[in-house]
Amino acid sequence: MLILFPETGSLKISQKGSSGERFFKWRSYRLFTSGSKEIIPVLQAFLSRPAESRVLKSGPKLGSFEYRTGERKFFIKVRYGNFFTPLLELFRTPWALRILDRYKRFEASGLSTLIPLGGWVAVKPWDKFYSGLCFEYLPWEYKASFICRHFKERGREILLLLVQYLYRMHEEGFTIRDPKLSNFFVLGKKVILVDLDSLRHFSRPVEFARRIRDLEVLARSLGRVGWENPEKLVRDLYFALL
């Protein structure tokens, strides 16, 4: 666990409750990895030369980047900092470590998602790249939305896998803000969730009204890639699992 002391902006590693992450001080950042230290040079290179990365998505708070080093590509998610970040983050665990905690709870349930390889927290919360996480890059042709748009036969199999995955999430007490096709990748018969930012966990299975909302979001995303009558299709597949 990493604790941020707001009065100084310094960072301290707490050994109690540690899950094996290793932290490294570098410039004005605290880099961490839960596995091999090989990811540390990647984080250093990205933070030193962010212009060499390709912007995938950028909003007022979060940004997504593709970063290549040699033949290997990484997906990097960034939480931007600004003048108000110290106030917003004053009594909270830094963003990257909150996401890491969600990942661990999600993984413990047996559901698959992108595996965080490492990340960082800036000593100064107003740093532009205040906090971030690095993941292996998944090719876009594995994205569920791409498959369902261009390969309808394979898409039917994918849809069943997605509905089964969503049902398991609900039974385990998990939900995300926007369970649309583009937030899932499919490798063979394995579904991988890529949206950890909005992941929520409840102490019991997700309530029925919330499940219906999630099914409607998934159905709308199917409609956007050209599927007919997606609401009935999604509900029939889901309710067959009850």
Integer CA distances (angstroms), 93 to 38, 135, 211, in order = 25, 20, 29
**Max CA pair span of the chain:** 58
Predicted structure pTM score: 0.87
pLDDT tens track for 27-78: 999 999 977 788 999 999 999 999 999 999 999 999 999 999 988 999 999 9
Based on the domain organization, do 77 and 191 belong to the same domain? no
Listed residues 136, 159, 188: the one ending a domain? 136
Strand, helix or coil at 81?
A: coil
Checking if the pLDDT of 15 tops 80, the result is: no
**Same domain, yes or no: 157 and 194:** yes
Q: CB atoms < 10 A from the CB of 192, how many?
A: 19
Q: What is the pLDDT of residues 204-219, one digit of tens each?
A: 999 999 999 999 999 9
Strand runs labelled E in the chain: 2-5, 10-13, 22-26, 29-33, 54-58, 62-69, 72-79, 116-122, 131-136, 174-175, 184-187, 190-193, 200-201
- Give the closest residue to 121 by CA, choosing from 23, 18, 20: 23
For the chain, what is the domain count?
2
Q: Which domain holds residue 56?
A: 2-136
Domain at 200, CATH number: 1.10.510.10
For the stretch 114-168, pLDDT in tens is 999 999 999 888 899 999 999 999 999 999 999 999 998 899 999 999 999 999 9
